[in-house]
Structure 1
Amino acid sequence: MSRRKILVVDDEPKLVRVVREYLEHDGYRVVSAGDGRVALERFRQERPDLVVLDVMLPELDGLEVCRRIRRDSAVPIIMLTARAEEVDELIGLELGADDYVAKPFSPRTLLARVRSVLRRAVPAEEYGAEGASEAPLSVGPLRVDPSRHEATWDGVPLALTPTEFRLLSALARRPGRVFGRLELLERIQGEAYAGYERTVDAHVKNLRKKLAGAGGDGAAESVATVPGVGYKLEAGRA
């Protein structure tokens, strides 16, 4: 497998240097940017496999950079945030980020999250992971093909991020079954980080928007909330 390229965007040179050292030591290629406008230029030029993106940036902030990247790319994005308010972190996820890491953080923690997000994003057969030879899943008008990493609603393609695709796949494998937030987090991230359960809510919100775009309110409502527990795919609505 070729070395994967990571774009690290932060206006703190020391942080970028430390992150670069850890990522390169682990075998990744690293390019960097110190502000939002340069980040978008680097992204277009380098076409990275993953973006590590700080929220607080000069020129354009990280949320706007994330929004613009998401207009035409599903590349995995990990947000870095020093803001205490959880809503800021979840806003990033609602724009299409796959994960976030709160500052200050250990470089080893970021490295583990990079590995996890990339593992979810690459074709399953490269890792021999679940889904490499799995048959397509059909639940009413919803069709999920894990081996091809494709999902459609009544034939209309769903442009899902890797995290959204894993979430929908987990629900589609057991329609009607209720999944708790921590269980879904473990299925879509490989780990269930304490305190990150509510990020599942943001991913579900994004998923429902895309389902609604393909099949209207009925499609969005097929991913049902079970108050106090989590989520399920309602086979009767799908």
Structure 2
Amino acid sequence: MNDLKTLAACGSLARTRSSGTDRPPASTPSNIAIHAMSTQSILIVEDDQETRNLVARYLRENSFNVGMAANGREMDRYISQNRVDLIVLDLMLPGEDGLSLCRRLRVDTTTPIIILTAKGDDVDRILGLEMGADDYLPKPFNPRELLARINAVLRRQLGGSAGPAAKTSARLRFEGWIIDSRMRELRDPEGAQVPLTSAEFDLLQSFCERHGRILSRDTLLNMTRGRPGGAFGRSIDVLVSRLRGKLDRTEGTSMIKTVRTGGYIFTPRVDEA
């Protein structure tokens, strides 16, 4: 358990550099290990060397391929030369900060992003989600939770189920739009593909499969991210805002209506395509 305690404490360091040789973490006991998907590649963008190395070692022990970058320039270089299935992105970076990197990444790619934020810093967390991040984790953190978040995001990216659904069709249609759960694609009425992040796709799919029903923020968060809402229900509001920006074409109208009791309802009729 020493590696878990070390990494959790390391995550709270405020940009402190390691002054000595990195200590290899102890092996994780098999009874608490969470198995990762062996073919996935993770890029860690974190400027604190000790944190970066410990996270990388832990993920490699759980069968991930792991790359590391200390800043935006190194991140760009790594991405240009390697396949990346998910990015773990610290927001407090030297030079170009994590929020700017997240915004820039979303212009060119839908690669899932998990942001690391200072504990209790709701503003940065919400801004990160608004920039297109798929999930977030406050520091200090337990590496088992990071591993669980990574696995959950990758399962969604690969089309894993977000919960029981009213419809099982792979393709659904609403107002001329087509959502394909197998390809994880959304096409507009003209047939053009609309890029969605993993979190945006899961939210839209949940709405489509439960159209006409009022869904609370906690329910939506549980269906799309696999955990109860609690204090983090605001992240659903951010996702809904992002999704509205891609779906709504007439000013003043929206397919996703806000319900005063604290939830949302997807109003279009949804049919099998």
Say whether the 8 Å CA contact 1:18–1:107 is kept in structure 2: no
In structure 2, what is the equivalent of residue 31 of structure 1? 67
Which residue of 170, 183, 199 corresponds with 1:148? 183
SS of residue in 2 equivalent to 1:71: helix
Output one character per residue of 1:80-114: Cα deviation in whole Å (capped at 9) or x when no partner. 01163312111111110001100111111111111
Which residue of 94, 97, 101 corresponds with 2:137? 101
In structure 1, what is the equivalent of residue 147 of structure 2? 111
Say whether the 8 Å CA contact 1:134–1:147 is kept in structure 2: no
SS of residue in 2 equivalent to 1:74: coil
Q: Which has the larger radius of gyration?
A: 2
Which residue of 48, 57, 66 corresponds with 2:93? 57
SS of residue in 2 equivalent to 1:147: coil
Between the aligned partners of 1:37 and 1:84, the Cα distance in structure 2 is 28
Alignment of 1:114-133 (within 5 A): 114-124=150-160
Between the aligned partners of 1:113 and 1:70, the Cα distance in structure 2 is 20
In structure 2, what is the equivalent of residue 40 of structure 1? 76
Q: Look up the equivalent residue of 2:263 and give its one-letter code.
A: G
Q: Look up the equivalent residue of 2:256 and give its one-letter code.
A: V
In structure 2, what is the equivalent of residue 233 of structure 1? 266
Alignment of 1:65-84 (within 5 A): 65-82=101-118, 84=120
Alignment of 1:72-221 (within 5 A): 72-82=108-118, 84-124=120-160, 134-154=169-189, 155-192=191-228, 194-212=230-248, 215-217=249-251, 221=254
Output one character per residue of 1:127-184: Cα deviation in whole Å (capped at 9) or x when no partner. 8x989x7331122223211122111231342211111011001101121111111111
TM-score, with structure 1 as normaliser: 0.89
Which residue of 40, 47, 52 corresponds with 1:4? 40
Say whether the 8 Å CA contact 2:217–2:229 is kept in structure 1: no
Between the aligned partners of 2:164 and 2:110, the Cα distance in structure 1 is 21
Alignment of 1:4-23 (within 5 A): 4-23=40-59
Closer/same/farther in 2, CA of residues 83 and 216 from structure 1, 3 Å limit: farther
Q: CA RMSD in A?
A: 2.2
Q: Which runs of 5+ in 1 are unaligned?
A: none
Runs of 4+ in 1 over 6 A off after TM superposition: none
Q: Look up the equivalent residue of 1:173 and give its one-letter code.
A: E
Query: Greater helix share, 1 or 2?
Result: 1
Output one character per residue of 1:46-105: Cα deviation in whole Å (capped at 9) or x when no partner. 231000000000121001111111111000000001163312111111110001100111
Give the number of equivalent residue pairs: 230
Q: Look up the equivalent residue of 1:99 and give its one-letter code.
A: D
